[in-house]
Structure 1
Amino acid sequence: MPLIVDQIGRFSSSPLGQFRDLKPWELTAGSPQFIERLLGQLGDDYSVTAGIALHASAIVDPAAAIKGPAIIGPGCFVGAGALLRGGCWLEADCILGPGTELKSSFVFAGSRLAHFNFVGDSLLGSDVNLEAGAVIANHRNEWPDSAISFLYKEGRIDTGVGKFGAVVGDRVKIGANAVIAPGAILTPGTIVGRLSLVDQAPVDIV
């Protein structure tokens, strides 16, 4: 789907390419079942225990918590106090630093969540960097019983789901303590300044 492939260059050629017809929020909402499918397609260089696949070259700190299903790819590092839940996929050479929480999300090669980040129901492209404290929120607490909507290319997109974070394009840099509000598309190479708010909600519901 263009919302994904226009932002993440490796998507179609990656293992996630088999889900290319899904909308981003459909992929994140169904992440546990999709990752369960991917678990059956892994090579012998992964060990799988309780629905958690760990590549032989990945490092997970003993103080991290991973709730399956999850796939931790080659060269990845998961630091102390990190939490992965709700179905997560790390492609290769990704870093989840201390205190980072990743929920129902897919992260492509070389991306780094420095520490004390929250990323929910999102897709992150390659070589994305989140500085300390940056958040990609996934729920509109101020919209009771409302599905997430957002603006993209001057059009309104209604997701029909109550939880969705963002599609973050390749090489995006998000500064310390910045907040990406639920429902966002960040195009490749975007730089979000420290302490910034990115909110793509339609004007009529903010």
Structure 2
Amino acid sequence: MLEEFFSELPEDGISELFKEKVPWAPLRFLKDFLFDTLPELPKGFPVDVPLREDLFITLEGEVITAKELEYVNGEYFLKGERVVGALVKAGAYFSGRRFYLGASAVVEPFAFLKEPAYIGDFSEVRHSAYIRGSVYVSKKAVVGHTTEVKNSIFFPEAKAAHFAYVGDSILGRNVNLGAGTKLANLKFYKREVLIKVGESSYKTGLKKFGAILGDNVQTGCNAVLQPGTLVGRNSVIFPAVVAGPGFIPQGSKIKNKRGF
């Protein structure tokens, strides 16, 4: 079933969570995986308080005030020596210490991040984003302004750039969520989410389960995906559509009743 959604798995350690054939299985193990594998932030990095100044964390764990650095052609230098790491802007708030911040990752002002979370190389956590814990953001992915994410996986270059909610979900490679997209993750009656694919029905073991979006899926502004929605690769969910639950085959175009 995985091939309906993902052409390839990320090259980093998260791929080991996809050993089962069903694509939602990683959501059951994500929190424990992150706590077991992520390092702690350096002792010199303040947590549980808003940052008072811009800080740079090197991949070796050194904490440097950003004003000490020189930025030239997309790279940082300290006293003439190139340094590689992540930039965290003043006002950002880290709750706990179990985080990984990759090379050239950026955390913008007033973002709030709860442990555990992995923020990959060249990824962005933008102004006022809320990382609610158990979040894996692969390289070149974006968690945007006032977007909330919990217990979710972003494949490389997946983007939830504006006003989105991503709960208990997986975004495949190069997914783009239009502004205001909501991936709902809890049924009214708080029962286990069941998935029907063709004539087969699957128990997920999850009471909270949002959506699986395959590679290159796009949603229009203010689209809503109901709990337990599986969207195959290269599909489009048009603006203001309520999609799911269940399986949407790859290459689909889901429009509203007016045809757009």
In which range does the TM-score fall when normalised by the shorter chain? 0.7 to 0.9
Which structure 2 residues correspond to residues 28-177 of structure 1 after superposition, within 5 A? 28-39=27-38, 44=60, 50-141=97-188, 144-177=189-222
Q: Secondary structure at the match of 1:30?
A: helix
* C-alpha deviation, 1:38, in angstroms: 3.4
Displacement of 1:129 in angstroms is: 0.2
Q: Hey, what's the Cα distance between the residues in 2 that align with 1:153 and 1:37?
A: 37
- Aligned counterpart, 1:195: 240
Instruction: Return closer, same or farther for 1:88/1:180 CA change in 2, 3 Å cut-off.
Output: same
**Contact 1:96-1:112 at 8 Å conserved across structures:** yes
TM-score (norm 2): 0.69
Higher relative contact order (CA 8 A, sep 6+): 1
Give how far 1:71 is off.
0.6
Contact 2:186 2:207 in 1 (8 A): yes
1:180 to 2:225 alignment: yes
> Where do 5+ consecutive residues of structure 2 fail to align?
40-58, 61-83, 87-95, 248-260
CA contact (8 A) 1:164 1:182 kept: yes
Read off the aligned partner of 1:177 and give its amino acid letter: N
- Which stretches of structure 1, 4 residues or more, deviate above 3 A after TM superposition? 22-26, 43-47
AA of the residue aligned to 1:6 = E
Identity rate of aligned residues, in percent? 30
Q: What's the counterpart of residue 252 of structure 2?
A: none
* Residues 6, 46 of structure 1: alpha-carbon distance in 2 compared, 3 angstrom cutoff: farther
**Residues 214 and 231, structure 2, Cα contact 8 Å, conserved in 1:** yes
Shift of 1:172: 0.2
**SS state of the match for residue 162, structure 2?**
coil
The alpha carbon displacement at 1:80 in A equals 1.1
Matched positions, count: 196
After superposition, the CA RMSD in angstroms is 2.2
Instruction: Show structure 1 runs of 5+ residues with no match.
Output: none
Structure 1 residues 110 and 145 mapped into 2: Cα distance closer, same or farther (>3 Å)? closer
Q: TM-score, normalised by structure 1?
A: 0.86
Q: Which structure has the larger Rg?
A: 2
The whole-number CA distance in structure 1 between the counterparts of 2:199 and 2:179 is 31
Quote how far apart the aligned CAs of 1:32 are.
Answer: 1.4
Question: Which structure shows the higher strand fraction?
Answer: 2
